[in-house]
């Protein structure tokens, strides 16, 4: 294995990174949004269409993030205001988002991202850090959005663990009733963090369609949204661990393609199963040794209704 | 201010009216969407209905598309009753179809009366095991079943791809990656112009209804679904209930795969499910997990799918519009359930309320 494999793993892990962070922040507020895949697809198609129409990378990213947030908003209204079942609402969002993206993506097949935008997202070396042997090549010779990903994870960590708003957020997810009694505006916290989650998932989708592929492909996410939901568990709801989880799975994502060079006598399709199988194994292992440090927010997935206490 | 309170007095009629209202609101919302696209919503909906029910052939097609939805919805409804979020129907259908295909390819000369039941049994076992694996871990360690079952879908998909491009590839197809067609013995017979899967579907609706409401096993599902602790205190083996219920759930989905492979495709391919495993999640939820309601909802959804292909030809509106319509309907129905469970009343102010 050469270094280029690890560089590529970071690239393949970046969409996962944004999606995991988005879901993690949503879950910190006690809301389990299974619509990640749907929001990513909405972001992917809107970002790609905006890129074709305007050629402006900022507008494309903003459009994608807003599309993700729009999906998240639907989820928020249903689960926070109307107390609908979160699992079903999230699943519906995924079905809706899949339909939305193939609807909007009709006729985009074969279109390619404009050259000017490819330049904008192209790799550049960070001075000093990029000169570190091996590590510099893997992590600091990347595109603008990969760096954004590092920052997003660190900022999310600082926000959740080092600010009072983050403390409030955690208390909403852990014990909603107590947070409410302490005067925290529970519904507002839930809405805001559901929306932040949507923004990040939209960005994750845009990364796939604008940078990773970068042309239009139907169902471009191929289950990455679901893997992201599983990796939140793997990362034990800790934003810093997301960096490791995302890049590890980025590596698994591309290993099937890379391994062909080595005349490996296993079918390509069997190796393609790897990310999914490893996700399953991780789920089992995490559940088998449940520790208090790595447990989900206590109120995760429960509707909160003040009048019912 | 707005006051909300729980209600338990919502009659079946009232809740049906609220759900119906929600569906109408969803149709209205999608109408705006259609208008933005520059079409007349009435003519689009009109031709959807025409496309789904306009001729005998179209009605048959609609019913043909409703069969997999009905069978898979029945399976999913069992799991959802248990609050086991089985979204692995897609993979369970594929594995069921694989089991049936294995029999069909290996015993092509066996008489239909033996071969078809054998294919059915194989499909139930394969789909059931595919569901029981996540159920086992959920029962043992509370492993998250939502993601587990979903990951199993992708594993099943890759496995079928492997079979289709590898060991099961038809040598007679000149290198084209397809699995050989079934012998006539392995094909479900036509009854009144539609493959016999419709009879299986109706029988299953009755069986599942009786099973849930009139057997001890069915009752246990409702109890454990309501509260695992209640089940445990009542002396039920909760783990066993989870595992065998999900085996049945996956088995029904597997049978759905056999019906599609044998009745419709007469072979196996990676596209065997046509997304039925996901659509059936919506339909079983919209049916409130009630077996007798499932066929009606599934025919409605099959009509949307069939009508969706029709409007694609008539208006060049992409077929995925049907998927958006389905998602929107479920959004509205999910939202409307709030008004079934809670009463919303407007009061002038809290003080006035207190003085009464």
Interface residue A102 vs chain B (CB under 8 A): yes
* Cβ-defined contact of A284 to B323 (cutoff 8 Å): no
B150: pLDDT confidence band, cut at 50, 70 and 90?
confident
What is the average pLDDT across A27-31? Answer: 93
Task: Judge contact between B231 and B81, C-beta under 8 A.
Answer: no
Interface residue B281 vs chain A (CB under 8 A): yes
Task: Assign A147 to helix, strand or coil.
Answer: helix
B68: pLDDT confidence band, cut at 50, 70 and 90?
very high
What is the average pLDDT across B195-217? Answer: 93
With contacts defined as CB-CB under 8 Å, which chain A residues touch B146?
34, 87, 229
Q: Give the nearest partner residue to A279 out of B151, B158, B337, using CB atoms.
A: B151
| Whether pLDDT at A117 is above 90 | no
Which of A163-177, A256-270, A279-293, B304-318 has the lowest average pLDDT?
A: A256-270
pLDDT per position as a tens digit, A126-153? 888 888 888 888 888 888 899 999 999 9
* Cβ-defined contact of A287 to B320 (cutoff 8 Å): no
* Cβ-defined contact of A283 to B147 (cutoff 8 Å): yes
Task: Give the whole-angstrom CA distance, residue B190 versus residue B242.
Answer: 36
With contacts defined as CB-CB under 8 Å, which chain A residues touch B337?
82, 84
Look at residue A71 in the predicted model and tell me its pLDDT: 96
Query: Residues near B69 by Cβ (< 8 Å), separated by ≥ 6?
Result: B276, B279, B280, B283, B298, B301, B302
Phi-psi bin for A152: left (phi > 0), alpha (psi -120 to 50), beta?
A: alpha
| Whether pLDDT at A293 is above 80 | no
Look at residue B355 in the predicted model and tell me its pLDDT: 43
Task: Give the whole-angstrom CA distance, residue B48 versus residue B32.
Answer: 16
pLDDT per position as a tens digit, A61-84? 999 999 999 999 999 999 999 989
φ and ψ at A170, to 5 degrees? -65, -35
Look at residue B348 in the predicted model and tell me its pLDDT: 64
Task: Assign A142 to helix, strand or coil.
Answer: strand
What is the distance in angstroms between the Cα of A126 and the nearest Cα belonging to chain B?
37
pLDDT per position as a tens digit, A2-25? 788 898 999 999 999 999 999 999
Q: ∠ at Cα B304 (B198, B24), nearest 5°?
A: 120
Task: List domains and CATH numbers for chain A.
Answer: 3-308 (1.10.3470)
pLDDT per position as a tens digit, B100-120? 999 999 998 888 899 999 999
* Cβ-defined contact of A87 to B146 (cutoff 8 Å): yes
Average pLDDT across chain A, whole number = 89
CA nearest to B71, candidates B314, B327, B260: B260
Query: Residues near A122 by Cβ (< 8 Å), separated by ≥ 6?
Result: A143
Task: Assign A207 to helix, strand or coil.
Answer: helix
Interface residue B166 vs chain A (CB under 8 A): yes
| Whether pLDDT at B352 is above 70 | no
Query: Number of C-alpha atoms within 13 angstroms, CB side, residue B356?
Result: 8
Q: Give the nearest partner residue to A92 out of B144, B165, B282, using CB atoms.
A: B282
> What DSSP line would sit under B138-156, residue for residue?
HHHH---HHHHHHHHHHHH
Task: Give the whole-angstrom CA distance, residue B14 versus residue B8.
Answer: 12
Task: Judge contact between B123 and B93, C-beta under 8 A.
Answer: no
Most distant CA pair in chain B, distance: 86
> What DSSP line would sit under B64-133, residue for residue?
HHHHHHHHHHHHHHHHHHTT-----HHHHHHHHHHHHHHHHHH-TTS-HHHHHHHHHHHHHHHHHHHHHH
Top-confidence range, B192-206, B222-236, B331-345: B192-206
pLDDT per position as a tens digit, B40-53? 888 888 988 998 99
A107: pLDDT confidence band, cut at 50, 70 and 90?
confident
**Best of A23, A94, A273 to mutate (most B CBs within 10 Å, chain B):** A273
B353: pLDDT confidence band, cut at 50, 70 and 90?
very low
Task: Assign A125 to helix, strand or coil.
Answer: strand
Q: Give the nearest partner residue to B87 out of A91, A100, A230, using CB atoms.
A: A91
Which 101-140 residues of chain B touch chain A by CB within 8 A?
A: 137
Chain B CA closest to residue A102: B320
pLDDT per position as a tens digit, A175-210? 998 999 999 999 999 999 999 999 999 999 999 999
Q: Which residues of B319-356 are buried (b: 16+ CB within 10 A; e: fewer)?
A: bbbbbbbbbbbbbbbbbbbbbbbbeeeeeeeeeeeeee
A122 exposed, middle or buried (CB, 10 Å; 0-12, 13-18, 19+)? exposed
Percent of chain B's residues with pLDDT above 90: 47
Task: Assign B281 to helix, strand or coil.
Answer: helix
How far is C-alpha A283 from the chain's CA centre?
A: 18
**Best of B323, B328, B338 to mutate (most A CBs within 10 Å, chain A):** B323
> Angle between the B89-106 and B145-165 helix axes, to the nearest 10 degrees?
30
CA nearest to B81, candidates B302, B207, B248: B248
Task: Judge contact between A163 and A145, C-beta under 8 A.
Answer: no
* Cβ-defined contact of B141 to A287 (cutoff 8 Å): yes
CA nearest to B255, candidates B134, B106, B95, B103: B95
Chain A CA closest to residue B136: A284
What is the distance in angstroms between the Cα of A226 and the nearest Cα belonging to chain B?
7
């Amino acid at each position: 294995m050469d270094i280029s494999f690890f560089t590529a793993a970071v690239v393949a892990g970046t969409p996962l990174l944004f999606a995991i962070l988005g879901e993690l922040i949503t879950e910190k507020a006690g809301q389990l949004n299974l619509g990640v895949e749907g929001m990513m697809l909405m972001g992917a198609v809107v970002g790609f269409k905006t890129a074709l129409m305007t050629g402006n990378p900022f507008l494309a990213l903003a459009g994608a993030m807003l599309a993700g947030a729009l999906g998240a908003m639907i989820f928020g209204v249903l689960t926070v205001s109307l107390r609908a079942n979160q699992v079903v609402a999230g699943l519906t969002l995924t079905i809706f988002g899949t339909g939305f993206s193939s609807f909007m993506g009709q006729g985009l097949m074969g279109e390619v991202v404009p050259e000017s935008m490819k330049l904008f997202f192209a790799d550049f070396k960070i001075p000093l850090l990029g000169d570190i042997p091996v590590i510099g090549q893997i992590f600091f010779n990347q595109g603008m959005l990969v760096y954004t990903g590092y920052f997003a994870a660190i900022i999310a960590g600082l926000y959740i663990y080092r600010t009072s708003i983050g403390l409030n957020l955690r208390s909403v997810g852990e014990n909603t009733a107590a947070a409410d009694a302490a005067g925290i505006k529970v519904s507002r916290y839930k809405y805001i963090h559901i929306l932040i989650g949507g923004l990040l998932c939209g960005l994750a989708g845009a990364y796939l369609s604008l940078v990773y592929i970068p042309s239009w492909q139907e169902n471009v996410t191929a289950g990455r949204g679901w893997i992201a939901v599983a990796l939140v568990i793997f990362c034990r709801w800790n934003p810093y661990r997301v960096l490791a989880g995302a890049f590890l799975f980025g590596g698994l994502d591309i290993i099937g393609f890379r391994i062909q060079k080595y005349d490996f006598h296993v079918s390509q399709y069997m190796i393609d199963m790897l990310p999914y199988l490893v996700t399953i194994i991780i789920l089992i292992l995490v559940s088998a040794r449940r520790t208090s440090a790595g447990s989900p927010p206590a109120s995760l997935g429960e509707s909160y209704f003040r009048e019912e206490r | 201010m707005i006051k909300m309170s729980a209600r338990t007095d919502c009659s079946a009629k009232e809740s049906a009216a609220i759900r119906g209202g929600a569906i109408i609101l969803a149709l209205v919302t999608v109408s705006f969407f259609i208008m933005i696209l520059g079409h007349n919503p009435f003519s689009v909906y009109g031709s959807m209905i025409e496309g789904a029910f306009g001729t005998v052939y179209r009605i048959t097609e609609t019913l043909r598309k409703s069969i997999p939805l009905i069978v898979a919805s029945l399976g999913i409804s069992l799991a959802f009753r248990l609050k086991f979020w089985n979204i692995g129907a897609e993979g369970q259908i594929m594995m069921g179809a694989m089991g049936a295909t294995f029999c069909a390819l290996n015993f092509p000369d066996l008489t239909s009366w033996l071969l078809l039941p054998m294919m059915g049994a194989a499909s139930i076992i394969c789909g059931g095991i595919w569901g029981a694996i996540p159920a086992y871990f959920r029962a043992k360690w509370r492993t998250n079943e939502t993601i587990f079952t979903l990951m199993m879908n992708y594993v099943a998909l890759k496995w079928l791809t492997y079979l289709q491009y590898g060991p099961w590839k038809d040598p007679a197809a000149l290198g084209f990656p397809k699995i050989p067609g079934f012998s006539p013995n392995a094909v479900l017979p036509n009854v009144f112009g539609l493959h016999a899967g419709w009879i299986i579907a109706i029988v299953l609706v009755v069986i599942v209804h009786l099973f849930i409401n009139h057997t001890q096993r069915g009752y246990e599902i409702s109890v454990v679904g309501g509260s695992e602790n209640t089940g445990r205190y009542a002396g039920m083996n909760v783990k066993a209930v989870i595992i065998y219920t999900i085996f049945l759930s996956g088995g029904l989905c597997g049978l759905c795969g056999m019906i599609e492979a044998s009745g419709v495709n007469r072979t196996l391919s990676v596209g065997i499910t046509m997304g039925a495993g996901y659509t059936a999640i919506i339909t079983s939820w919209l049916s409130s997990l009630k077996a007798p309601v499932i066929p009606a909802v599934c025919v409605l959804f099959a009509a949307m799918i069939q009508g969706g292909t029709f409007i694609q030809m008539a208006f060049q509106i992409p077929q995925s519009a049907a998927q958006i319509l389905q998602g929107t309907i479920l959004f509205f129905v999910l939202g409307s359930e709030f008004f079934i469970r809670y009463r919303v009343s407007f009061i002038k102010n809290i003080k006035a309320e207190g003085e009464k």
